[in-house]
Chain A
Amino acid sequence: MYAQLVKSEGTKAREEMTPEEIAFQERIDRGEKIEPKEWMPEGYRKTLVRQIGQHAHSEIVGQLPEGNWITRAPTLERKAILLAKVQDEAGHGLYLYSAAETLGVSRDELMKLLHAGKMKYSSIFNYPTLTWADMGAVGWLVDGAAIMNQVPLQRTSYGPYSRAMIRICKEESFHQRQGYAVMMKLAQGTPAQKRMAQDALNRFWYPSLMMFGPSDKDSVHSAQSMAWKIKINTNDELRQKFVDQTVPQAEYLGLTVPDPDLKWNEEKGGYDFSEPDWSEFFDVIAGNGPCNKDRLGARVKAWEDGAWFRDGLMAHAEKAAARRAQAAE
């Protein structure tokens, strides 16, 4: 997901917990929200910083693959919709960095970790957007997968994170509908457009399934995060839900999901489907996806090229404050 493979810290059995930790866990179990100034285990704080930070980074790196088509959007209306969407993603980044700040880590610190390759962002954004249909596929599938994960996170235990998710989810579902509308137009268009739509689905299907991360049934990290309600569902549950929701949507478009083994399983009330190639996933996570270097390079360049700008604003603010102080004397 936007937060894939987030390690959680300090997994403890109940008998090893301090009374404070027990009281904390009980609050979470009762469904109470944890607020910034309240006591929390260090592991909870660290895990959240990692997860929220990774989520924030995903939003801002996620601007790039779609930003790639803004100047080539085929109509003025499509250009405006796409630009507004990418702008929303920057806004999501802002809310999430602010949520992380309540845990005592600044946006600049998190960005430096991202730029140094010490924090990750979602694997999906390391895939290229090669045709206009990718603007449809990304909205439909990538925002769609993000929503799958983020809707339950509205109930997460950490107050600021939960509130950020509530704001973000509204916009994400709008993005998904817009993406689907782009696909619809192509699927109903000329043969070339239809081909474009199918090609985008072919390329984005498995990377979208990877967004949920590998099966976590054996993962201790997941168990701890779930106990803390930082993670609400297992990766497999969400992936299944996503497939079940998306397959009929593809059928409605007249497109074929690129999985010959996909079939409805009456007994479980869901589809059976092929796993993505997890070795590809681990390659991408390790930095070897088709666009990792370009994406991170673009973020680092924006940051470095913008240093003089940020310094200039800071210096002006200091001068202005000094002038005000002098005037007050």
Chain B
Amino acid sequence: MPSLPDMTTPQVAELARQQAQAHPAHPTVPQPDEGQEALFETLLRIGDSALVLGHRVSEWCGHSPALEEDIALANVALDLIGQTQLWLGLAGEVEGQGRTADDLAYLRDAWDFRNLLICERPNGDFGHTLMRQFLFDAWHHEMLKGLAASSDPRLAEIAAKAGKEVAYHLERSSDLVVRLGDGTGESHRRMQQALDALWPYAGEMFLGDDKDAQMAARGIAPDPASLRAGWDATLRHVLTEATLQIPEGDFSHKGGRQGIHTEQLGYILAEMQFLQRAYPGASW
């Protein structure tokens, strides 16, 4: 290996100083107002979750256990993709840099994604996919109820439309969780395993940060913690009927909503963004 010049700290600092002199700093860009930035972030958080989960669900197309499931899962994925278009479309508008929903979906790297980690978890067996959907739907339903009451009418409108779709998603996933939980020994075991495996990804849905606090204070989006009671009630009701045990322990992985993801997201994006990356600027 060829030897590198010594990279001692003073030398690096000196190099940087010389570079800065050769290329004067860009004119200062006006800072976006902080409220807009938090709103942009909020829209990415909900839009990216829909995008990434929609992607995962669509992976089943043609491979599910029954034709009826192929059709139903495609419906869920289609709803989520449609919601993504609305949320990310509005995010681009709020950001004001001329980015479209497609630009946001196809041209950001993983660290700029703000989805919940549970959305990027691999599909696993069909029980795993259904349980992930149920845990998410129960949250999504509460979240959209909150957003439908947003002080920002643009959010309220999207949430009202999406809320109708998600009410149906929740009805369907709850029903299947009950039937499989209280089905055969094997289906029960698989559903319990799925619940246990996904449980550590549930808590993130209710963890707020200061951006959430800002949004809640302005009545734009609900405080994530406030969604917990409704979610708990749905879970208790459905899982009891399904004869499944709510796992002990409240440890939770987190970071998705701040851009720190699992290894999975990079692969999802590599696949999803392939054409846009391989043929930059082409229109499809």
Contacts and interface: CB of A to CB of B under 8 A. Distances in A.
Contacts of B186: 308, 311-312
A80 B78 contact: yes
B66 A193 contact: no
B24 interface: no
B120 to A, nearest CB: 13
Nearest to A309: B65
B272 A308 contact: no
Nearest to B187: A312
A70 B282 contact: no
B279 A190 contact: yes
A77 interface: yes
A90 B272 contact: no
Interface in B140-195: 178-180, 182-184, 186-188, 190
A219 interface: no
Contact of A308 (B70, B184, B283): B184
B198 interface: no
Interface stretch (B79-87, B131-139, B244-252): B79-87
B62 interface: yes
Interface SS majority for chain B = helix
Interface string B39-62: 000000000000100010011011
A262 interface: no
Given A308-B190, A312-B184, A80 B62 contact: no
B64 interface: yes
A250 interface: no
A74 B105 CA distance: 10
A320 B12 CA distance: 73
Contacts of A64: 62
B258 interface: no
Given A87-B75, A306-B66, A63 B84 contact: no
A185 B64 contact: no
B272 A71 contact: yes
A127 to B, nearest CB: 16
Nearest to A308: B186
A305 interface: yes
A27 interface: no
B187 A311 contact: yes
A170 B70 CA distance: 21
A79 B179 contact: no
A84 B126 contact: no
Contact of A67 (B61, B275, B283): B61
Contacts of A93: 67
Given A63-B61, A185-B284, A311-B184, A74 B106 contact: yes
Contacts of B92: none
9 contacts: A67-B61, A67-B62, A83-B74, A83-B81, A190-B279, A192-B279, A193-B279, A298-B63, A302-B65
Interface of B: 51, 55, 58-59, 61-71, 74-75, 77-78, 81-82, 84-85, 101-102, 105-106, 125-127, 178-180, 182-184, 186-188, 190, 271-272, 274-276, 279, 281-284
Sorted nearest first, the 4 A-B pairs with minimum C-beta distance are A306-B65, A312-B187, A312-B183, A63-B62
Given A67-B62, A86-B74, A312-B183, 12 more contacts: A60-B62, A73-B275, A76-B85, A76-B102, A76-B105, A306-B64, A308-B127, A309-B127, A309-B180, A310-B65, A314-B183, A316-B179
